[in-house]
Chain A
Amino acid sequence: MRFFLLLLAILLATLTPPARAVEPNEMLKNPALEARARAISRELRCLVCQNESIDDSNADLAHDLRLLLRQRLAAGDTDRQAIDFIVARYGDFVLLQPPVEPATYLLWFGPAALLIVAAASAAIFVNRRNRTLREPAPLSAEEKRRLDTLLDERY
């Protein structure tokens, strides 16, 4: 039961706060800067939510992060610098797209490796069967004629 209460508590935490996703009063006046801020905030995770970006989340923390991000951009940070600034404070967990590093090689290259292995196994399997495939003799004229009449009768 305590599991479910915990889950409920998390749900409550994510649902009750007043602010809703990105708000007009948070937005920057400069449209180019705001567009950059929106793009970055779609890639950052709201840390107290289940798998929501800070752009979509209603949580207070997401609101704070959106403001922080916009402050950095307004202060002249590049996208990279702004993201690094937030990662330095919250860790890689804040990135919805995990970085490519030794700890994530398995994650990033696993699917491609699996695809190659699966395709190769299938190819070998089909080929091995294929090697034993015997061509049946082509139909004789008589057989062809019978087949045609059979097919015609069907419709």
Chain B
Amino acid sequence: MIIELGHFALILALPLALIQATVPLWGAERRHAGMMALGDLTALAQFALIALAFATLVNAYITSDFSVLNVAENSSSAKPLIYKISGVWGNHEGSMMLWVLILTLFGAAVAWFGDNLPAPLKARVLAVQAMIGAGFFLFILFTSDPFQRLADPPLEGNGLNPVLQDPGLAFHPPMLYLGYVGFAVAFAFAVAALIEGKVDAAWARWVRPWTLAAWCALTIGIAMGSWWAYYTLGWGGWWFWDPVENASFMPWLVGTALLHSAIVVEKRDALKGWTVLLAILTFSLSLIGTFLVRSGVLTSVHAFALDPRRGLFILVLLAVAIGGSLLLYAVRAPALAGGGLFAPISREGALVLNNVLLTTGAATVFIGTLYPLFLDAVGGPKLSVGYPFFDRTFVPIMVPLLLAVAVGPFLGWKRGDLRGALERLWIAFGLALALGAIALYLSQGGPILAVGGLMLAAWVGFGAITEWVGRTRLSWRRALHLPRAAHGMTLAHLGLAVTVAGIAASAWQVERIAVMHPGDNIAIGGYTLHLDRLSGLDTPSYHAERADIRVTAGDRAITVMHPEKRHYPLEQMTRGETAIRTTFLADLYLALGDDDGKGGATIRAYWKPLVPWIWIGAVFMALGGVLSLSDRRFRVGVARRAAPASAVTEAGE
């Protein structure tokens, strides 16, 4: 009965969304206060309904109600509670429910906290939001209904894919969706601005926090996915240029561009049309990402043929959302002529360069990801586009970006002094060179590109520090007077440097793969690994084989590590549980392979220098975003009051 209540709530949300998509829009046109205000009410009601629907689904999972098809297919009664809950979004139908839950939550947030928005803008934003919502409600109701009952319920469910039974992966999809859906708000603002024909500094000031928040969540979401791959897959790969990863990376790249171009709109009233276009593109890529991952089209275009209804619906929805907004853009954008003028060498110019490189990078990922599908669809040869392609195309585009990241913040608005900027960066340049020389000497004919990557990272990092020191002159008083957004930028750029260093250094990893018997030892990365024991371990969910590996360095005992290989009988799957010891400068990474039938087993050991920096850097970036988000001028209600003063206080930034 309860699950039907959820189904009913979802059905009820649809007409509400349709009302919200039309009435406030019309009201904004006629300047009718009542019609515009209706949007607030429906947004809050929609959120309440979807929250109820989602809660009934979660309840069905927690109580293991196998009369619900979705629960029977994706859960089992023996799972720990956290994986019963995360199982809700571990499948297509449930993940769509999570998507609309976040969408309506953000819609309600705009309605609730958006008092300082001009009423027509708010009404139009909510209307656009409701259009997206309506599309998704229809999609769920007609093709991906998680509320279906089974005529004869099974006694036990099929279980959750063991790969998904992991804390890292349990929260990976919600973070990604927070990002995707946050960009939906930026999109709604962009489309509303196109309808109004007005984009100004105030508009950018409302869009920036949403974009920043979405970007932070997406950054963390992507990092979590990558970290999960690292510790799960048994050999420590952290990025595969897999279509599923690319689907989240593209909105991140364009979202990063949007974040930067919105600054120009806010501060200098320029790049308006371009910023609106970026907002549209970011969300379009988020939509494509959501659907590509869940529809199976990435495995093969022919997967569409299995369930043409769902595929067709997705295509129509994408066509309407993306095509419609781009059409609107083509018609209305010419009216958005920008005000602020600037010379090519200026802060604005640097941000344009940032945008050119980031969007080209995103386009490269887009081409590489979809080219096999495209060729297949036009009857061409079957191709794989794997990491070698992206290494050769995407990475070269990022090199100039990294070179420019350090310089950009030193350039003044309107007209910058490139020579002056470079002169202030000579210490960073010297440090990067010195580090490169040391790395070159230490790696002794090792991978030369990694040395280059490390130098780039040092350039970006020391550049960010130089800029921060120049602003604060290491005085607390000065540092406290700086806007938080300035510290946020330093932290985010520093994070980028840390991540790049981690990526570059991964070329120096050491690998040892050997069959070991108890009593054997191998040496790696300055450690000696002693295999003491191989044993079995039983838990309700799985049976594990487990190795006790003692790690020593010289005579010093360091630790004991336990890589496992787990077999899940219900799901009929085997997966490894790696053991990792990190010093934050390097990871010792162990995975247990097959036994050799003679009392020994394959041990894979890796020593991976700086690898944790990849994710530490991502956390820095996200924290930088949060710090910017806490900036005084983004706080609720501040936007209007702060406007006159900001012209003076921010001129020096």
Contact = CB atoms under 8 A, between A and B. Distances in A.
Interface of A: 1-4, 6-8, 10-12, 15-16, 18-25, 27, 43, 45, 50-53, 56, 58, 91-98, 103-104, 106-108, 110-112, 114-115, 118-119, 122-123, 125-127, 129-130, 132-134, 151, 154-155
Interface of B: 69, 73, 91-92, 161, 163, 233-235, 237, 240-244, 270, 295-296, 299, 303, 306-307, 310, 338, 341-344, 349, 352-353, 355-357, 359-360, 363-364, 367-368, 371, 375, 380-389, 392-394, 397, 477-478, 481, 513-515, 572-576, 591, 593-594, 596, 602, 604, 649, 652
A10 B382 CA distance: 18
A43 B360 contact: no
Nearest to B573: A15
Given A1-B73, A114-B363, A133 B602 contact: no
A93 B388 contact: no
A21 B439 CA distance: 31
A133 B242 contact: no
Contacts of A19: 594
Contact of A111 (B364, B383, B481): B364
A107 B367 contact: yes
A51 B386 contact: yes
Contact of B91 (A4, A15, A112): A4
A155 B344 contact: no
Given A21-B235, A21-B604, A11 B652 contact: no
Given A21-B604, A130-B344, A8 B161 contact: yes
Given A107-B367, A114-B364, 14 more contacts: A1-B73, A6-B296, A6-B299, A18-B594, A23-B513, A25-B596, A27-B513, A56-B237, A98-B384, A107-B371, A110-B367, A114-B363, A118-B356, A125-B352
17 contacts: A1-B69, A4-B91, A6-B306, A7-B296, A8-B161, A15-B573, A15-B575, A23-B513, A23-B602, A51-B241, A51-B243, A56-B235, A92-B381, A103-B380, A103-B381, A122-B352, A130-B343
A24 B240 contact: no
B386 A2 contact: no
A93 B349 contact: no
B344 A127 contact: yes
A138 to B, nearest CB: 12
A69 B581 CA distance: 34
B576 A20 contact: yes
A122 B360 CA distance: 12
Given A7-B299, A8-B161, A155-B478, A114 B360 contact: yes
Given A19-B594, A22-B513, A126-B342, A52 B240 contact: yes
Contacts of B593: 20-21, 23
A149 B574 CA distance: 71
Given A2-B306, A91-B382, A133-B341, A50 B299 contact: yes
